[in-house]
Structures are given as structure tokens and as C-alpha cells.
């Protein structure tokens, strides 16, 4: 399980009241102001001076940017994260194109694999010429499915070619013994984003279901199926039955309920209708034990295997194969895939440039090969040193915060400090790069390259079962604009691509750096102590180290945060889900509070200078606000409210800051201000 900082979050559609500009505190002494030489790091042109920060910090720090920045036709949302991701992809493209221009690189070299993969993706003439021929062997395999055992065997085998199936198999550290890898099963098998898209009676979900059925029919018809309409009805019915067994996103956030280590004998007892030997045979795995994340779902799929006609499973598997590989097939399949997955589900109106999709595909299958090239050009040793210092300050500030908690007893406090001391830190890029020597890439076979990449990855996972955990591994590439905390590794990780303005700039005053990357660092540290992360100890093991009373006090404070975010509304009355977003909201709240404390420590008692008309504390919170600038399409915002554990950007910026005494003081909030919270209403956890 990874707890990520941001998975492209967005702006909620609520209006703000335009009133007088914010009051500015008295300027610091003239000698302090004169000594200041560094710029603020604030993008003042994006501000909206007609909005008061006391009413809407988010729009004061970004309202003009939000109004004047349209969402590109090929995107479902656009903001700081997306802009930096575009920048990183442009750098990667330039690297790739240089390599792809030569066809004489040594076979098996990194240069050959990178250049050949890109060339295969960009050769659209060949994709038109070969049509569905690259999938012929898979179609034949599906056509040969005649029994329930064949169905189960294919569920295992399809994982080897990267096709989503009802039961997903993966390998990760054992939550109860983080030193060893354990096989695991997770619910899967749906084309639409979540069970609600299949089961919710609301008209908007009915529209999604209609679009889905139409897409299935069109995709199968394009593949030459004469009875595509009937097939689409059967596939839609089967996916709906699968959705009925799916656990909700909130249920899946519980690390205790989703840890169910079983022997194969216990697994057979759980789902006796499911031929587990056949699935593992198809997969090529021989695990001794398996962690079953959603036992009732697995039991339900066992029932479906026996009750659903084999013929329906065959058409389902064919559709899933076509859907998975459509972006890498001829134009008619690619456009159908885009029309449903992007236009219907996310509101996107135009395709991304093909080069950009090529880069994204390559990032997903050979990301660290590209990452080595990226960091050589884009990441300096000086930046890594500076960020390490910021991390050190944040860890020290969090340690102080633990000592100052009035709701935590001494035994739990000691355990918390011990866990904090054990947090590992990774910055920029891996010390040990992934070995891709077993991956075969050719210039003339895009489908084969994608299939072999999936097989390369599953083989990489299978050999790990039962072995010691690789602590050097990264779960994001250096060119990823994101960050994460891993509970099983008890580590925080910051890829190179997020260590750029407006998150971090070594040439500006530190207030905005602490409000940007400092809050990101604090967010990831705080994940070690959110409602999920707190259930793991300093060694990454799922273990209850809390006293009963301290756990109860934590849950009470967390409950107040749930209630707060449950009251936020987007679109046409859609409420946020405070339980789904609790972990990320705790990360934001505690991370921002600790980042502010670290900023104060960095001043060493000296007053912060006034820059661009703002005090140090004000610049800190404005730095926080400007990283959340993002516009959303309605369909994408709805999807994220239902499925994303991160709150939309407006509420990350405003809701989080409004709970901090430091924010209330920095902008001198008073009763009547929209972001004012009475002291007793402000949620504080860490």
C-alpha cells in the first residue's frame, strides 16, 4: 500500500465573495527588509486581489490563474501537477527522440530498448497494416475456453499479458512481516472506475452505463463480431454482477480487514467453486500463502465462475483483451477507446499528441531506464542536499510536535517517536536502478512490446515470493510529479520531478519553499501517523502499538475531520466523502502544521522579512495555496469525488489552512470571515 501525496487533484466549483484586499501587518524593521535579496517565489500575476484570503485563500492565491487558464482539450483537469508533468514528459521526449533516430544501438542496450519502443509506438502505418493480427494467438486461446476450469486458468494467464481480470494477483511485503514478500489477491475486473458506476440508480450513472454498453458493442463490432449487440448486453450484465461483490473504497482503506493471509487449503475452503490450482498454473505461480484482500469478493467470483455460462466468460475475456490493447492498435480501436475512457468518463475533448502517449506508455513499462537519463539532465546534487536539509527540519519539527501533544500518553508517545526515528528518506532517484536486461523490445512490434513488458513485470514479482524485501526499490520514477509514503517500508520518497517550482526553488526565500515542498514532506511524514499508517510500527509491520485511550482520542479527532470534509459540496450537491479522504486530509493538516513549525525553526529566532507586501507566515500559506491551482472538467471531478482518496484542491488549500492557528493569526481572521474557525472548532491531530 502506498499513500500518495497527490494524484492530480482539482478545484471545486464554489463561488467566493469579492471584498476588500487583505490587511497587511506592519512592516518589519527597515534593516531586515533592506537585507532581503531573494525573491518571494510567489506567482503574483495569478492572484485575485478582489478576493480576501480570510474568505478564500485558494482563490486569493490563484483566482486569476484559474480564470485565465483553460483546460487543454486533451486533459480532464489542469493545474500545477499537470504542468510539471507536461514539462517532464517534454524532457523525456527529447531524450527518446535522440535515441530513436539511430537503429544501430547494440542489441539489448538501454538505448536500443528506448529507441525501439518509441519507434514501434510512433509507426502508425504499421499498426494499420497489421490490424488485429498481433492478438490472434490470444483470440485463439480465448476461443478454446470450454470449461469452468479453463475460465479460471485464463484469469491467471491473462495477468501475464497485462489484462485486467476479476481477481488481480500481485506481490508485496507481508503486512505482518515486512521483511518478506507475500503473494496477494485484489478485486478487479471492472471497466468503469468504481462499483457505483454500475449500481447507483442516479441518472448520471445510468448515462455512464449506456455509454459503456455502446462502447462494448462498437469495440466488438470493429473486431468483426456479427452479434456485438448481444455480446455487449452479456458483458454489461457480467460486469454488473462483479461490481455487486466489490468492496467500497472506504472498506478498502482498512488495513486490518484487508489483511487475510491464507494457505491454499483455506483459500479453497473460502471459494470451493474456484479451481485455484488452475489459476496458479495459468499464472505460473507457486505461493505457499496468499493475502486475500477482499475475501467476500473472492468467494463471490467463485460463485460466478460456476453460475455464468462459459460462453459469456469468453466474450468478456475478448472484450477485456481488446479494451486493454486498443490504444496500441489501429486508429479505429484507439479512437473508440478514447471516446469512452476519456470523452465519456472524464469529459476530455481531444486526444493527447501521440508522442506524449508514447512517453507515458514507456514511463509505465521502462520508467527507470528513462529516469536515469532524466536525472542526468534535470536534477542537481545541490538541490538534493538542500531538500535533505528541509526533510531534516521537518522531521525535527514533527518530533517536537509529538512531545507537545496533550492527548497522547507517554507509552504511545515513545512508540511514535521511535517510529519517526526509523522513517527512511529517498530523494530524487534510486541508488540502485532496476535491471531491464530480461526485457526484449523490437522496433516493429508495439503489441509484442506491451505484452512482453507485462510478462517481464509479473516474472519480476513472482520470483520475489517468500524472499527478503528489497529496501532499495522505488515505486515511482524520478520523472513522476508526486511523492509517497510506504507503510511497509516506513519511508518517504520524493522523485526529482516534484522538486521544482512552485514546490521548490533554491533561488527564492524559504517561506514559499516550506509552504510548498515543506508541506509535501510534512504530508508524507504525517502519513506514517494517519488513520491507516498509524496501524503500522516503525519496522513496517501491521501492529497495534497504541494504548486504548490514546487510540480513542485519535479517532475522536479524526472523526471531527471526517465531519468537516463531509460538509463540503461540489458540482450539483455532491458531498465529499470524509471517510474516503481521511488519510490524505490528515496528511495535509498535520503536514502543513509541521511545515510551518519547521519554517519557524529555520529562522533561528530572526524575524522573517517582508517581501512583495507579505509577511513570512503569509508567504508560507500563499505558497501552500499556489501549488493547488487546478481546473477540473465536471465528469472528472465527479469521478475523483467517488474514487480518489484526495480531496479536491480547493478544500486541500482552504479546509486544511483554516484549521491552523498560524493561518488564522497570519491573516488576522475574525468571526464573520469565511475561513474563520473558532479555536474549539479547529482540528489538530499531530
C-alpha cell read off for 663 = 493561518
Q: Please determine, for residue 220, whether its predicted confidence score (pLDDT) is greater than 90.
A: yes
Q: Per the omega criterion (within 30 degrees of 0), is the bond before 502 cis?
A: yes
| Distance (Å, whole) CA 196 – CA 345 | 13
| Residues 391-424: tens digit of each pLDDT | 999 999 999 999 999 999 999 999 999 999 999 9
Contacts of 210 (CB under 8 A, 6+ apart): none
> Residue 314: phi, psi to the nearest 5?
-60, -45
Is residue 394 within 8 Å of 526, Cβ to Cβ? no
Q: What is the pTM of this model?
A: 0.91
What pLDDT, on a 0 to 100 scale, did the predictor assign at position 189? Answer: 97
Tell me the average pLDDT across 325-336. Answer: 98
Q: Please determine, for residue 215, whether its predicted confidence score (pLDDT) is greater than 90.
A: yes
Instruction: Give residue limits of the domains in the chain.
Output: 3-7+47-89+363-434+473-681, 132-332
| Residues 462-481: tens digit of each pLDDT | 999 999 999 999 999 999 99
The confidence band for 123, taking pLDDT boundaries of 50, 70 and 90, is very high
What pLDDT, on a 0 to 100 scale, did the predictor assign at position 253? Answer: 96
Tell me the average pLDDT across 602-607. Answer: 94
DSSP 476-487: S-TT-S--EEET
C-alpha cell read off for 87 = 514539462
Tell me the average pLDDT across 78-96. Answer: 97
Shortest CA distance to 163 belongs to which of 436, 362, 455? 455
| Distance (Å, whole) CA 640 – CA 651 | 13
- The DSSP H or E segment spanning 261 is strand 261-263
Look over the chain and give the mean of its residue pLDDT values, rounded to a whole number: 93
Tell me 515's DSSP state: I
C-alpha cell read off for 305 = 465462475
What pLDDT, on a 0 to 100 scale, did the predictor assign at position 3? Answer: 45
| Distance (Å, whole) CA 132 – CA 143 | 15
**590-611: buried (b, 16+ CB within 10 Å) or exposed (e) per residue?**
bbbbbbbbbbbebeeeeebbbb
Q: What is the CATH number of domain 3-7+47-89+363-434+473-681?
A: 3.40.390.10
Shortest CA distance to 82 belongs to which of 323, 324, 327, 346? 346
Tell me 340's DSSP state: I
What is the fold, at CATH topology level, of the domain defined by 132-332?
Answer: Neutral endopeptidase; domain 2 (1.10.1380)
| Residues 1-42: tens digit of each pLDDT | 554 443 332 222 222 233 233 333 333 333 333 344 699 999
What pLDDT, on a 0 to 100 scale, did the predictor assign at position 37? Answer: 66
Share of the chain above pLDDT 70, in %: 95
What pLDDT, on a 0 to 100 scale, did the predictor assign at position 29? Answer: 37
User: From the CB of residue 378, how many other CB atoms can be counted at a distance below 10 Å?
Assistant: 20
| Residues 34-79: tens digit of each pLDDT | 344 699 999 999 999 999 999 999 999 999 999 999 999 999 999 9
What pLDDT, on a 0 to 100 scale, did the predictor assign at position 7? Answer: 31
Is residue 40 within 8 Å of 614, Cβ to Cβ? yes
| Distance (Å, whole) CA 190 – CA 157 | 18
* Residues paired with 4 in a beta bridge: 484
Tell me the average pLDDT across 319-330. Answer: 98
The confidence band for 351, taking pLDDT boundaries of 50, 70 and 90, is very high
The confidence band for 89, taking pLDDT boundaries of 50, 70 and 90, is very high
> Residue 29: phi, psi to the nearest 5?
-55, 150
What pLDDT, on a 0 to 100 scale, did the predictor assign at position 573? Answer: 86
Is residue 657 within 8 Å of 57, Cβ to Cβ? yes
- The DSSP H or E segment spanning 556 is helix 548-566
Is residue 12 within 8 Å of 641, Cβ to Cβ? no
| Distance (Å, whole) CA 617 – CA 662 | 8
| Distance (Å, whole) CA 623 – CA 503 | 8
Share of the chain above pLDDT 90, in %: 93
What pLDDT, on a 0 to 100 scale, did the predictor assign at position 511? Answer: 97
CB under 8 A, 24+ apart: contacts of 481-484: 481/81, 481/84, 481/85, 481/88, 482/4, 482/5, 482/6, 482/7, 482/81, 483/4, 483/5, 483/6, 483/520, 483/521, 483/523, 483/524, 484/2, 484/3, 484/4, 484/5, 484/524
Amino acid at each position: 500500500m502506498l499513500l500518495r501525496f497527490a494524484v492530480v487533484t482539482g478545484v471545486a466549483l464554489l463561488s467566493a465573495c469579492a471584498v476588500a484586499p487583505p490587511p497587511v501587518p506592519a512592516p518589519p524593521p527597515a534593516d531586515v527588509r533592506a537585507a532581503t535579496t531573494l525573491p518571494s517565489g510567489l506567482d503574483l500575476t495569478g492572484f485575485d486581489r478582489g478576493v480576501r484570503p480570510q474568505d478564500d485563500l485558494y482563490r486569493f492565491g490563484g483566482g486569476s490563474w484559474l480564470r485565465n487558464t483553460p483546460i487543454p482539450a486533451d486533459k480532464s483537469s489542469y493545474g500545477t501537477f499537470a504542468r510539471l508533468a507536461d514539462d517532464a514528459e517534454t524532457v523525456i521526449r527529447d531524450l527518446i527522440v535522440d535515441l530513436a533516430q539511430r537503429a544501430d544501438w547494440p542489441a539489448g542496450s538501454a538505448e536500443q530498448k528506448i529507441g525501439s519502443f518509441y519507434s514501434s509506438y510512433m509507426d502508425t502505418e504499421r499498426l494499420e497494416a497489421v490490424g488485429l493480427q498481433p492478438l490472434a494467438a490470444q483470440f485463439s486461446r480465448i476461443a478454446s475456453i470450454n470449461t469452468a476450469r479453463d475460465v479460471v486458468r485464463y484469469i491467471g494467464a491473462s495477468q501475464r499479458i497485462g489484462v485486467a481480470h476479476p481477481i488481480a494477483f500481485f506481490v508485496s511485503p507481508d503486512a505482518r512481516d515486512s521483511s518478506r514478500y507475500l503473494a496477494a489477491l485484489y478485486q478487479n475486473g471492472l471497466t468503469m472506475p468504481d462499483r457505483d458506476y454500475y449500481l447507483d440508480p442516479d441518472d448520471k450513472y445510468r448515462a455512464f452505463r449506456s455509454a459503456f454498453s455502446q462502447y462494448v458493442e462498437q469495440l466488438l463490432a470493429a473486431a468483426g463480431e456479427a452479434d456485438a449487440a448481444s455480446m455487449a448486453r452479456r458483458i454489461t450484465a457480467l460486469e454488473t454482477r462483479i461490481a455487486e461483490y466489490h468492496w467500497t473504497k472506504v472498506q478498502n482503506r482498512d488495513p486490518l480487514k484487508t489483511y487475510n493471509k491464507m494457505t491454499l487449503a483455506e483459500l479453497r475452503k473460502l471459494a470451493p467453486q474456484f479451481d485455484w490450482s488452475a489459476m496458479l498454473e495459468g499464472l505460473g505461480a507457486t505461493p505457499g500463502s496468499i493475502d486475500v484482500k477482499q475475501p467476500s469478493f473472492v468467494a463471490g467470483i467463485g460463485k460466478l465462475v460456476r453460475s455464468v455460462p462459459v460462453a459469456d466468460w469468453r466474450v468478456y475475456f475478448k472484450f477485456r483483451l481488446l479494451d486493454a490493447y486498443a490504444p496500441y492498435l489501429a486508429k479505429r480501436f484507439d479512437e473508440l477507446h478514447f471516446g469512452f475512457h476519456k470523452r465519456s468518463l472524464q469529459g476530455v475533448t481531444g486526444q493527447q499528441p501521440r508522442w506524449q502517449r508514447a512517453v507515458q506508455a514507456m514511463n509505465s513499462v521502462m520508467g527507470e531506464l528513462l529516469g536515469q537519463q532524466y536525472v542526468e539532465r534535470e536534477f542537481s546534487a545541490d538541490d538534493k542536499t538542500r531538500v535533505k536539509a528541509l526533510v531534516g527540519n521537518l522531521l525535527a519539527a514533527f518530533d517536537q510536535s509529538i512531545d507537545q501533544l496533550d492527548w497522547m500518553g507517554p507509552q504511545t508517545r515513545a512508540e511514535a517517536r521511535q517510529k519517526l526515528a526509523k522513517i527512511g528518506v529517498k530523494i530524487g532517484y534510486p541508488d540502485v536502478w532496476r535491471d531491464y536486461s530480461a526485457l526484449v523490445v523490437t522496433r516493429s512490434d508495439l503489441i509484442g512490446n506491451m505484452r512482453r513488458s507485462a510478462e517481464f513485470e509479473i516474472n519480476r514479482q513472482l520470483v520475489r515470493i517468500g524472499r527478503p524485501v528489497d529496501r532499495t526499490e522505488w515505486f515511482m520514477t524520478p520523472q513522476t510529479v508526486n511523492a509517497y509514503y510506504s507503510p511497509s517500508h516506513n519511508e518517504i520518497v520524493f522523485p526529482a520531478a516534484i522538486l521544482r517550482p512552485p514546490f521548490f526553488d533554491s533561488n527564492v526565500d524559504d517561506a514559499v519553499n516550506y509552504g510548498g515542498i515543506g508541506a509535501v514532506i510534512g504530508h508524507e511524514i504525517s502519513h506514517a501517523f494517519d488513520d491507516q499508517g498509524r496501524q503500522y510500527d516503525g519496522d513496517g509491520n501491521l501492529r497495534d502499538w497504541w494504548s486504548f485511550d490514546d487510540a480513542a482520542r485519535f479517532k475522536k479527532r479524526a472523526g471531527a475531520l471526517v465531519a468537516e470534509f463531509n460538509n463540503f459540496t461540489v458540482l450539483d450537491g455532491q458531498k465529499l466523502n470524509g471517510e474516503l479522504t481521511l488519510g490524505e486530509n490528515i496528511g495535509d493538516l498535520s503536514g502543513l502544521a509541521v511545515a510551518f513549525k519547521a519554517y519557524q525553526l529555520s529562522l533561528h529566532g530572526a524575524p522573517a522579512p517582508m517581501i512583495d507586501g507579505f509577511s513570512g507566515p503569509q508567504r508560507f500559506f500563499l505558497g501552500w495555496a499556489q501549488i493547488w491551482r487546478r481546473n477540473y472538467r465536471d465528469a472528472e471531478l465527479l469521478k475523483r469525488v467517488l474514487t480518489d482518496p484526495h480531496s479536491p484542491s480547493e478544500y486541500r488549500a482552504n479546509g486544511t489552512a483554516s484549521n491552523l492557528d498560524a493561518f488564522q493569526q497570519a491573516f488576522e481572521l475574525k468571526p464573520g470571515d469565511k475561513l474563520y474557525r473558532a479555536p474549539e472548532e479547529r482540528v489538530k491531530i499531530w
